[in-house]
Amino acid sequence: MKFLTGLLVAATAAHAATLGDVCTSKYIKSVLPDSQTIESLIINPSSITASAVYNASIPDDPFYPAATISFCNVTFAYAHPGKNDQVLLNFWFPTSEDFKNRWFSTGGGGLAINSGDNYLPGGLMYGGVSGRTDGGFGSLDTKLGDVLVQGNGSINYDALYMFGYKGIHEMTVIGKAMTKSFYGMMQGNDTQKLYSYYQGCSEGGREGFSQVQRYAEDWDGAVIAAPAIRFSQQQVNHLVAGVVEQSMGYVPPPCELEKIVNLTITACDKLDGRADGVVARTDLCQLRFDVESTIGAQYSCPASRSMDGSILPAQSGRVSSKGAAVAREIMRGLHTTDGRLAYMPYQHSATFDDAQATYNATTGKWEAPVISYGGEYVTRFLQNQDLDTLPSLDGITYDTLVQWMQEGWQRYEGSLQTTWPDLTPFQAAGGKVIHIHGEVDPSIPASTSTHYHEAVREIMYPDMSFEKSTEALNEWNRLFLIPGGAHCGPSTSQPNGGWPQTTIRTMIDWVENGAKPERLNTTVLAGENKGEESELCAWPLRPLWKKGVLECVFDQKSYETWVYQFDAFKLPVY
């Protein structure tokens, strides 16, 4: 490939033109890639919409800083050959002066394949064309759950596989081809290098790994956050806390669990060498903290409104031995009734979101919750019923949960599970991964990421020592846990934990300038220390503050708290 920038600037319309000139459906039509370059997908030219957006003010986000951006907002649909279907794409094209030869695919969250407009600015502000897809679900706002069950008992496999991995791939193939023609990057058979990036969190993180595991040629770099990989275990895991409460016959008021979290933070804060309200060493916390120590502590919370709008009454009392026992069992992770481990728990000091009781105003009692991610997974994905969630946890035991995990794992191994551990093709093609995860994520345990990262290391470098294989993996695939970080953003209970807001820029610098990030920069995004900067250590190193200076250390005992053998399953869990 030759770099023909000078020639191209002179020769192409896009480089000379203003946003207004090119942001028309006529121009977009003229730069549509032909079907051969996009795997025979068929773009419908009459579906194109294009409108220029000037000086849009974008607020601070955990994944990018505030910015003012201008772009051409384009939507259009394509179909799969032989199918009378329609997949809608939405691309944002920067002005030709701002364009820096970059393409960005973005992913979704929950059962949504895109995150609305949320992640599109993150690539655009760095001179990239950003894209999202509707997966063919009917609109950019339609979720997989809305279309998965076609009639009770029947699954929409097209939608399933689009969500699983195909949707993001197809968007990327079309997006890269169109970006090249939009900015006139092609000249005969020579094209300028177009750098290709991925960014997503949660389900979007899973989509990121779905790509890294399959499409080595698509990507130069992927910023993958809190990925919802091991999909079946991950979804069913949301039901564990409720089943613990039900099985142990005690449903703690939310305030009691909040008090336990606060006391855990207080007890473990300084184990990392810095008293800042952040438990940067949840591993040391796990080794040293005993939840029994919270028994008897007084708690009190005012009446409030829950997420679903219902009124939660004021609560006060003392942490009970039953409350502490429920917390302890939840923090142990799911086990079968005969004691075999099936899944990992959240880290110590994470809020107990899955355990949040619902209040029954008729009986005046707290009831164990049916967390809808878990409930919907069972009704739609396993039972294939068109029901939003399970009606209750009645009759559901630990063994039921383990069985559901296993059943979904087998059924969706090739579409949703997303734990293929051999990333050799991606690595060999020069691909880079920055993988981040909030250490006290209350929705996807941080150890789900460390476990997969270690599985990749062991599968790819089976003959190397721990040190050598870690080094080899870290050359191109780096994992950073974010102390105090919650799910896809900072936590409110540990607000001084900084968040790596400029990770996309760091990835660009790694891919395009070879600057491997030894550590990641973080910024405190809210609270009284807002703006304070710090750094993250790359796994398996862990933070330890000595006289106010951050050191990244390794200690075996802490490391071992992150290592799990899931003996509830006969097959290896990657």
Ligand X SMILES: *[C@@H]1O[C@H](CO)[C@@H](O)[C@H](O)[C@H]1NC(C)=O
Active site residue ranges: 202, 441, 487
Stretch of 37-45, 194-202, 224-232, 379-387 contacting ligand X, by CB under 6 A: 379-387
The dihedral of CA 255, 257, 261, 262: what is its sign?
positive
Q: Quick one: 78 exposed, middle or buried, by C-beta within 10 A (0-12, 13-18, 19+)?
A: buried
516 binds, among Ca ion, ligand X, none (CB under 5 to 8 A by kind): none
Residue 318 C-beta: closest distance to ligand X, Å: 12
For position 283 contacting Ca ion by CB under 5 A, the verdict is no
Q: How far lies 297's CA from each of 256, 258, 330, 352, 572, in Å?
A: 9, 12, 20, 18, 42
Exactly one of 269, 329, 376, 454 binds Ca ion (CB under 5 A); that residue is 269
For position 75 contacting ligand X by CB under 6 A, the verdict is yes
For position 521 contacting ligand X by CB under 6 A, the verdict is yes
For position 259 contacting ligand X by CB under 6 A, the verdict is yes
Exactly one of 386, 407, 458, 555 binds ligand X (CB under 6 A); that residue is 386
Interface with ligand X: number of residues (CB under 6 A): 30
Strands 149-151 and 67-79: unpaired
Exactly one of 274, 348, 380, 451 binds Ca ion (CB under 5 A); that residue is 274
C-alpha gyration radius of the chain: 24
Q: Which amino acid is at 415?
A: S
Footprint (CB under 6 A) of ligand X, residues 36-55: 49, 53-55
**CA 565 to chain CA centroid, nearest Å:** 24
Exactly one of 5, 152, 304, 410 binds ligand X (CB under 6 A); that residue is 152
Distance CA 180, CA 176 (A): 6
Exactly one of 105, 282, 406, 506 binds ligand X (CB under 6 A); that residue is 506
Are 295 and 320 a contacting pair, CB within 8 Å?
Answer: yes
Nearer to ligand X, 386 or 407 (CB): 386
274 binds, among Ca ion, ligand X, none (CB under 5 to 8 A by kind): Ca ion
Q: Which amino acid is at 39?
A: E
Residue 274 C-beta: closest distance to ligand X, Å: 17
Q: Which amino acid is at 194?
A: L
Are 10 and 199 a contacting pair, CB within 8 Å?
Answer: no
Exactly one of 96, 502, 522, 561 binds ligand X (CB under 6 A); that residue is 502
Residue 120 C-beta: closest distance to ligand X, Å: 8
Footprint (CB under 6 A) of ligand X, residues 2-31: none
Q: What are phi and psi of 84, to 5 degrees?
A: -90, 55
Ramachandran assignment for 344, one of left (phi > 0), alpha (psi -120 to 50 degrees), beta (any other)? beta
Which 8-state DSSP code applies to residue 380?
Answer: I
Strands 549-553 and 542-546: antiparallel
Nearer to ligand X, 399 or 532 (CB): 532
Chain contacts with Ca ion (rule: CB under 5 A): 269, 272, 274, 276, 278
Chain contacts with ligand X (rule: CB under 6 A): 49, 53-55, 73, 75, 117, 151-152, 188-189, 255, 258-259, 262, 299, 301, 360, 362-363, 385-387, 502, 505-506, 509, 517, 521, 533
